[in-house]
Amino acid sequence: MVRFIGREAELAHLERAYGSLHSEFIVVYGRRRVGKTELLLRSLQDRLGLYYVGKTAPASLQTREFLEEAARCLDAPLLAHVRSDSWKEVLEAIVSSFRGPGKLVLVLDEFQWMVEASPELPSMLQELWDRQWRDSGSLVLVLCGSFVGFMEREVLGRKSPLFGRRTSQIKLEPFAYHEAARFHPGWSLVERTRAYFVCGGIPAYLRRFDPGRSVDQNIQDQLLDEFAPLSREPEFLLREELREVDNYYAVLRAIAAGHHTARRIAQHTRLPERSLHYYVQQLVELGYVERGHPLTDLGPPRRTVRYLLRDPLLRFWFRFVFPNVSFIRQAGARRAFKERIASTLPAYEGICFEGLCREALPRLYQAEGISAAFAVGEYWDKTVQIDIVGVRDDGWADLGECRWGVVRSAAALRRELAEKVAHWPNRGGATVLRRIFVRRRPSRVVDEPHERWHDLEQLHALSP
């Protein structure tokens, strides 16, 4: 059996909801492969629950499958003989057949596909919840979906028939760095970090990496071998959710190649900017792309936008695998890694390290007892790039430099950051604390006034 890691807070929340004295309506959502299904199935262990996965199929097929599953799960064979294509009638029949003990947990996973086949389903659920289920105290309804934009718009949004009905929601995010590191406890901290740079916090990807082999070997085995699941994972992800996949490929490849503005992406892909906006928005809603703004002490200027690949596996795949597919097939995984990837991988990991440090800064604030409200990001303009920017409402700002490679001169690194600090538009007069993030802290380096050094070991040890 696969070892279940993390999600303690989410599991505890579901347990409380299942054991409450009231009916509960819970919305669980998050990008694909983040572990939603695993979380829900884990929560249903040793508990009576009906779990159904929606699919791209006619409503008549889905209602029939649902009734058959309910008949088995609830030991109610008569349900298998119900003949109806109406979700309202099917759900009423299932819930009314439940005789306890406790509450019935009803999970509708991949809810977006159910609604695609039955657009009336949200309105039907609203009616059933308002008129029958809410005051019964005998039901936990869980709607789960992987299209984040759909769930926020059509289930949680103000225009949804279900708006205001939920009793709680869980937006399941990828594991943070310190949580992802738990998947390979036998590896060195550097190797666990490098795995995070490739797999991110997605449990399904982290489990594919063999702890008995190095990260470099796992890259060859899991991403460069044409028979390995991860070698085609981005293709499957995009085809499951999107149409016109070729255009999305072009956008993702452009971003991975370093084209981050709408103008440059449009030039690289030869897509009209109006069409490009649609494709980018879909990728943002799926959680694969994010918008970034240069952060100052007066907030980010909204008109200055660049697009980044949020998902580490997609970022790695479109950077190293997709443009080299023909060579990989001809030369094999080992030679392709050596000739096309190995030499540029450290620089790529340096960029990933910057993201890890931005992720860690809020936990650094917590560890340092800083309770001020804050925003975390980066800053760039035509003259300077600052890896880490943390703006607080206590009059301080944190500006940071990240260095994944060996630090040969602490003094040179300090000077480099000081020059960047001088270019940051500090219009509000914030007091600047300089933070330097490194893989390994140089020996005999002592923090100077208004300066702090942080290394990988410290970042890993931070409490969530």
Q: Are residues 32 and 166 in the same domain?
A: yes
Residue where one domain finishes, among candidates 310, 343, 376: 343
Whether the bond into 362 is cis, omega within 30 of 0: no
Mean pLDDT by 10 residues, the chain (464 residues): 81 96 97 94 91 93 93 90 90 90 94 95 97 95 94 95 97 94 95 98 96 97 96 91 89 94 94 91 91 83 86 96 95 97 97 96 96 95 95 96 95 96 93 97 89 95 76
Beta bridge partners of 380: 385
Phi, psi of 366 (to 5 degrees): -60, -45
Q: Are residues 68 and 208 in the same domain?
A: no
Does any domain span residue 127? yes
Q: What is the CATH number of the domain that holds 281?
A: 1.10.10.10
Does any domain span residue 209? yes
Q: Are residues 207 and 284 in the same domain?
A: yes
Helices (H), 134-185: 148-150, 177-180
Does any domain span residue 230? yes
| Residue 168: per-residue pLDDT | 98
Residue position matching structure tokens 């931005």: 358
Q: Quote the Cα angle for 335-337-342, to 5°.
A: 125
| Tokens representing residue 70 in the block | 């309910």
Q: What is the CATH number of the domain that holds 157?
A: 3.40.50.300
Side chain identity, residue 180: A
Q: With DSSP H G I counted as helix, E B as strand and the rest as coil, what are the percentages for the chain, rounded to 5?
A: 50, 15, 35
Q: Are residues 16 and 97 in the same domain?
A: yes
**DSSP secondary structure code for residue 295 in this structure:** -
Phi, psi of 351 (to 5 degrees): -65, -40
| Residue 390: per-residue pLDDT | 97
Does any domain span residue 353? no
* 41 Cβ neighbours under 8 A, 6+ residues apart: 51
Q: Are residues 13 and 83 in the same domain?
A: yes
Q: Are residues 317 and 396 in the same domain?
A: no
CB atoms within 10 A of CB 275: 14
Supply the DSSP string of 310-355, one letter for each residue. --HHHHHIIIIIGGGHHHHHHH-HHHHIIIIITTTHHHHHHHHHHH
| Residue 298: per-residue pLDDT | 75
Q: What is the CATH number of the domain that holds 386?
A: 3.40.1350
Residue range of the domain that includes 390: 359-461
Q: Are residues 262 and 119 in the same domain?
A: no
Q: Are residues 195 and 261 in the same domain?
A: yes
The end-to-end CA distance of the chain, in Å, is 27
Distance between CA 114 and CA 58 in Å, rounded?
Answer: 9
Residue where one domain finishes, among candidates 142, 171, 200: 171
Q: Are residues 183 and 330 in the same domain?
A: yes
Does any domain span residue 113? yes
Give the total number of structural domains in the chain. Answer: 3
| Residue 1: per-residue pLDDT | 47
| Residue 3: per-residue pLDDT | 73
How many residues comprise the chain? Answer: 464
* 25 Cβ neighbours under 8 A, 6+ residues apart: 129, 134, 140, 141, 143, 165, 166, 167
* 420 Cβ neighbours under 8 A, 6+ residues apart: 384, 385, 386, 399, 401
Q: Are residues 85 and 32 in the same domain?
A: yes
| Residue 458: per-residue pLDDT | 94
Q: Are residues 166 and 36 in the same domain?
A: yes
Distance between CA 380 and CA 383 in Å, rounded?
Answer: 8
Residue where one domain finishes, among candidates 123, 153, 171: 171
Does any domain span residue 349? no
| Residue 241: per-residue pLDDT | 82
Q: Are residues 221 and 270 in the same domain?
A: yes
Distance between CA 168 and CA 172 in Å, rounded?
Answer: 13
Does any domain span residue 20? yes
Does any domain span residue 354? no
| Residue 83: per-residue pLDDT | 87
pTM score over 0.85: yes
